[in-house]
Structure 1
Amino acid sequence: MKMYRQQNEMTQEDLAELLEVSDKSISKWELGKGYPSKKNMVKISEVLQVPLEVLMIEEQTEDNRFAKSLKYSFVSYCIIFGLTLFIRVIRNGNEYSNILSRDLSDILKIVLIEFGQNAYFALLPAIIIGLVFYLYIFPKERDD
């Protein structure tokens, strides 16, 4: 929406005045922190001379971009988590060689401790990967 507003050489205040809303509302809509009502969406389409379908598709694209980045973050997290768990088991293999002969409470304690340590190691890289997709890769795909 911001791009179309700027193409029409309008400020947020100008558009807000025409729509009879606050300029803060326009700012929220442009930042994706809120969405205009159906009535305002029709007015925006008319004022900015942009088909309503185009405005709707762009909103959905932004939502899809966020959902896709979350998906990549989760997949990255699972892969990193699995790899760190695998490496720890290989490095400390003799420590776990007789795990099945231990008491159930000891087994659960070992599993929870390993899970907690690996969850911690995998979280930050997964968040970074998700942000890279959200901020750099998906916008470039959209521009191409």
Structure 2
Amino acid sequence: MSLNNYPAAPTGSRRISQQLNQTQIRKQERANQHYNCSFNELLQQELGRPQGVKLSAHAEKRLQERSIFLSQEDFTKISNAVQKAAAKGSRDSLILYRDMALITNITNRTIVTAMDGKSMEEHVFTNIDSAVIIK
């Protein structure tokens, strides 16, 4: 049996196909609007955007166990400290803030663990390449 013996597709399916194609074209046009910026413009936008600091599950647990509560203002100050450490090329930093010590992965912008004054009795911190003191 040759292909010519098959009936033509109904006009309704052609309309659906055309509508799908038009929808895809509109989606692509909207996506392309984001690419109209130069690379330098996009880079400057990303660099200017404030980056938040995340808490690891371990850090969240430690904060709860030690009854340490961080406000939005605290997170802003910590985020600024992380930004400064990143600018200096740090990867893992000890951030001293109030009576807390925060071990922070600078690359991932993540607080890995948190200690209060009582927990810092050993006075030894390992696997860090920098320290930032927030006043």
Q: Give the TM-score normalised by structure 1.
A: 0.21
Q: Which has the higher strand share?
A: 2
Largest Rg, 1 or 2: 2
TM-score computed with the length of structure 2 as normaliser: 0.22
